Each structure stands twice: as structure tokens, then as C-alpha cells.
Amino acid sequence: MKQHRKNRIYVILFVGISILISIFLVFSALQENINLFYSPTDLKNNPPMSDRSIRAGGLVKENSLKRDKDSLKIKFEITDLKNTISVSYEGLLPDLFKENKGVVATGYFYSTSNEFIAYEILAKHDENYVPKEVKKALE
């Protein structure tokens, strides 16, 4: 019985210490600066290598959207209100893609020309749901 109880204490110690270490490790990991999602400012300050696809996001700059007449090619600029990058893309755009709205582009960034070649454009919409009539009344 005594041995049994001793064993139980060892088990509890083992569990407790391991979980404490793990919590400590998580906190020290969160101290690290990590960046997998780039804003235009991030791209300017420390550009990633162009051989790897990344995700960049921000707002679509007003009056920056240019459509090609004969094809689906488009060009626009993403801004985080401090810096901007120009993005080119070929394909259909989602309905919610609008100027001054959030967008997430996946593709390759070429820091020499400050250009982002996207192969996927996704619209990010916010969590606000407002009826049309209310919106009109507010404006």
C-alpha cells in the first residue's frame, strides 16, 4: 500500500512538472516575433525571399483598381495606410472585393520591383451585419 501511494505521488509530480514546463515553453515561444502574414509595411521592412509563396493583406486602395480590357488581368494596390504594394492577378474576383475593403492575397513578392504576383485573391469581410435601410439612414 505504501509503495502504491508513493507511486501515485511520483505520477502526480511527473504530470505537474511536465505541464508547468510546457506552459513556460509556450510563453517563451510567444515572446518570439513571428511573421507569416505580411502587411505592406512588413514587406517593405524585411521582404521575404521570392521563392516561397506568402500571404499579404490589407485594404484595397481607393481608385487603384485597373482592369485589363481584353482579359481577366487586374492590378490594384494594397495599403495598410502607411505603405502600399501593387498586386497583379489574373482571374475572377469575389463579390465582396471592393475598394477600401479588406483583402488577402496569396502569391509571390518581388522586393526589387515592389510587386506582388497573386495566384489567389480572397475578400475578407468583417463581422458587422447592418441592414441596408439603417445604413442609408446613417449616411
Closer Cβ to another protein, 82 or 101, answer by number: 101
Q: Which is nearer to another protein, 34 or 112 (CB)?
A: 34
Q: Does 28 contact another protein by CB under 8 A?
A: yes
Task: Name the minimum Å distance from CB 113 to another protein.
Answer: 20
Decide if residue 72 touches another protein (CB under 8 A).
no
Residue 94 neighbours by CB under 8 Å, 6+ apart:
121, 122, 123
**Residue 91 to residues 9, 111, 119, 121, 122: CA-CA distances in angstroms?**
63, 23, 8, 9, 12
Query: Which of 35, 55, 54, 57 minimizes the C-alpha distance to 45?
Result: 35
Q: Is 119 in the site for another protein (CB under 8 A)?
A: no
Site string for another protein, 80-109 (x = CB under 8 A): ------------xxxxxx---x--x-----
